[in-house]
Amino acid sequence: MNLHYLIREPKIQQEQNPVLILLHGYGSNEEDLFSFATELPEEYYVISVRAPYDLQPYGHAWYAIHFDADENKFSDDNQAKESRDLIANFIDEIIAKYPIDKNKITLIGFSQGSILSYATALSYPEKIARVVALSGYLNENIIAENFKNKEYKHLQFFISHGTVDQVIPVDWARKAKPFMENLGLPVTYNEYPVGHGVAPQNFYDFKNWLEKTK
């Protein structure tokens, strides 16, 4: 399955350019995060990907979210793993198609896209350099079982969450930092007094982080 995407070419052309891959949240589409592509640093390709599962009446998802009789939410982890692998294959496809520096690939995910960013980076660390995880959480069930056998020590994470997020509780987000620190990985973790969204200060902070860590 080929994933549909939008692309912004780098304004500053290099022999090989770094890339920011944007992964939207549940029920949204590739245009959502792409709306801030013009604000991102000019040396990057910016590629915003549409999730593979169509929702009714509109929007897309990386995996289904089901509710049981007691209104407990649970994720379709098998679909999530399939999407994780789709993203990994997608990275290979864009490297083959565009002059992208394969050592400078950053995933920027929001909500469900953030959950997938964690899983893809830890399952395929050879393909990813950095992750910006916005308003998501780490689902250990969708990370490749053998990930600790891989070379992942180069990975860097910027994690942020709203303290009054009504969709994904901030307590869930907070677990990612100690998890990464136990792996010996550098983490920047910020909270903002907002709900389920990206505050202007949050955007500014992760943009600065991109500049600092490149």
> Is the separation of the CB atoms in 63 and 80 below 8 Å?
yes
- Cα–Cα distances (Å) from 74 to 41, 80, 115, 139, in that order, read 37, 12, 14, 11
What CATH number has the domain spanning 5-213? 3.40.50.1820
What letters, b where the CB count within 10 A reaches 16 and e where it falls short, cover 33-58? Answer: bbeebeebeeebbbbbbbbbbeeeee
pLDDT score recorded for residue 2: 81
C-alpha triplet 139, 141, 147: angle, nearest 5°: 95
In whole angstroms, give the CA distance from residue 158 to residue 212: 12
In whole angstroms, give the CA distance from residue 114 to residue 111: 5
pLDDT score recorded for residue 1: 60
Residues 59-108 have pLDDT tens digits of 999 999 877 666 677 789 999 999 999 999 999 999 999 999 999 999 99
> Is the separation of the CB atoms in 70 and 42 below 8 Å?
no
Among 181, 183, 178, 201, which residue's Cα sits nearest to residue 191?
201
pLDDT averaged per 10 residues, the chain (length 214) = 91 95 97 94 97 94 82 85 98 97 98 98 98 97 95 97 96 97 97 96 97 93
pLDDT score recorded for residue 71: 65
How far, in whole angstroms, is CA 79 from its chain's centroid? 16
Domain ranges across the chain: 5-213
pLDDT score recorded for residue 45: 98
